[in-house]
Structure 1
Amino acid sequence: MQGKWIEVKVVTTSEALEPVSGIFYSLDVKGVAIEDPNDILQREQGPLTWDFADINLFEYGDKAAVVKGYFSVEDNMKEIEEYIKEKIQDLKGLGIDIGEGKVEVKAVYEEDWANNWKKYYKPTNIGNKIVIRPIWEEYQAKEDEIIIDMDPGMAFGTGTHETTRMCIEALEKYVTNEKTVFDIGTGSGILAITAAKLGADEVIGVDLDPVAVDSARQNVELNKVHSDIKILEGNLMEVVDGKADIVVANIIADVIIFLAEDVKKFIKDNGYFIASGIIRERSQDVVNKLAECGFKVEEVNTLGEWVCIVAKR
Structure 2
Amino acid sequence: MNGEWIEIKVVTKSEAVEPVSGIFYGLDVKGVAIEDPNDITERPSGPFTWDYADYNIFEYGKDAAIVKAYFSKEEQIEEILNFIEEKLKELRDLGIDIGIGKVIRNKVQEEDWANEWKKYYKTTKIGNSIIIKPKWEDYNPKEGEIIVELDPGMAFGTGTHETTMMCIEFLEKYCKKGDRVFDIGTGSGILSIVASKLGADEVIGVDLDEVAVDAAKINVEYNKVNNVKILHGNLVDVVDGTADIVIANIIADVVIYLASFVGNYIKDNGLFISSGIIKDKQDEVEKVLIQNGFEIIDKNNKGEWVAIVAKK
- 2:46 aligns to what? none
Q: Is the CA contact (8 Å cut-off) linking 1:133 and 1:147 kept in structure 2?
A: yes
**Secondary structure, aligned partner of 1:302:** strand
Q: Is the CA contact (8 Å cut-off) linking 1:54 and 1:112 kept in structure 2?
A: no
Q: Is the CA contact (8 Å cut-off) linking 2:31 and 2:155 kept in structure 1?
A: no
- 1:130 aligns to what? 130
Displacement of 1:201: 1.6
CA distance in 2, matches of 1:264, 1:13: 33
CA distance in 1, matches of 2:228, 2:19: 36
CA distance in 1, matches of 2:53, 2:270: 43
Q: Is the CA contact (8 Å cut-off) linking 2:164 and 2:249 kept in structure 1?
A: yes
CA distance in 2, matches of 1:277, 1:13: 15
Identity %: 62
Q: Is the CA contact (8 Å cut-off) linking 1:33 and 1:53 kept in structure 2?
A: no
**Secondary structure, aligned partner of 2:298:** strand
- Find 1:59's aligned residue among 36, 56, 59: 56
Matched, 1:230 2:229: yes
Listed as ranges, the matches of 1:135-284 within 5 Å are 135-226=135-226, 228-284=227-283
C-alpha distance 37-171 of structure 1, shift in aligned 2 (>3 A):
closer
Q: Is the CA contact (8 Å cut-off) linking 2:31 and 2:209 kept in structure 1?
A: no
Listed as ranges, the matches of 1:300-311 within 5 Å are 300-311=299-310
- RMSD between superposed Cα atoms in Å: 3.0
Displacement of 1:273: 0.5
How high is the TM-score relative to the length of structure 1?
A: 0.83
Displacement of 1:138: 1.1
CA distance in 2, matches of 1:31, 1:184: 16
Matched, 1:298 2:300: no
Bigger shift: 69-78 or 217-226? 69-78
C-alpha distance 87-138 of structure 1, shift in aligned 2 (>3 A):
same
CA distance in 2, matches of 1:193, 1:61: 33
C-alpha distance 41-183 of structure 1, shift in aligned 2 (>3 A):
farther
Bigger shift: 76-85 or 285-294? 76-85
Question: Any gaps of 5 or more consecutive residues in structure 2?
Answer: 43-48
Q: Is the CA contact (8 Å cut-off) linking 2:32 and 2:155 kept in structure 1?
A: no
Deviations 1:236-278 (A, max 9, x none): 2222222111111111222222222221111100000011122
- 2:45 aligns to what? none
Give the letter for the 2:186 counterpart: T
Displacement of 1:311: 0.5
Give the letter for the 2:51 counterpart: D
Displacement of 1:5: 3.0
- 2:40 aligns to what? 40
Displacement of 1:127: 0.5
**Secondary structure, aligned partner of 1:113:** helix
CA distance in 1, matches of 2:97, 2:232: 40
CA distance in 2, matches of 1:263, 1:171: 18
Give the letter for the 2:103 counterpart: V
Q: Is the CA contact (8 Å cut-off) linking 2:178 and 2:201 kept in structure 1?
A: yes
**Secondary structure, aligned partner of 2:261:** helix
**Secondary structure, aligned partner of 1:268:** strand
Deviations 1:111-167 (A, max 9, x none): 231111111111100011111111111111112111111122222221111111111
How high is the TM-score relative to the length of structure 2?
A: 0.84
Q: Is the CA contact (8 Å cut-off) linking 1:280 and 1:306 kept in structure 2?
A: yes
Q: Is the CA contact (8 Å cut-off) linking 2:188 and 2:215 kept in structure 1?
A: yes
Question: Any gaps of 5 or more consecutive residues in structure 1?
Answer: 43-51
CA distance in 2, matches of 1:87, 1:210: 25
CA distance in 2, matches of 1:252, 1:36: 16
Displacement of 1:27: 4.7
C-alpha distance 256-72 of structure 1, shift in aligned 2 (>3 A):
farther
CA distance in 2, matches of 1:24, 1:60: 20
Q: Is the CA contact (8 Å cut-off) linking 1:244 and 1:267 kept in structure 2?
A: yes
Bigger shift: 299-308 or 63-72? 63-72
Bigger shift: 14-23 or 209-218? 14-23
Displacement of 1:6: 2.5
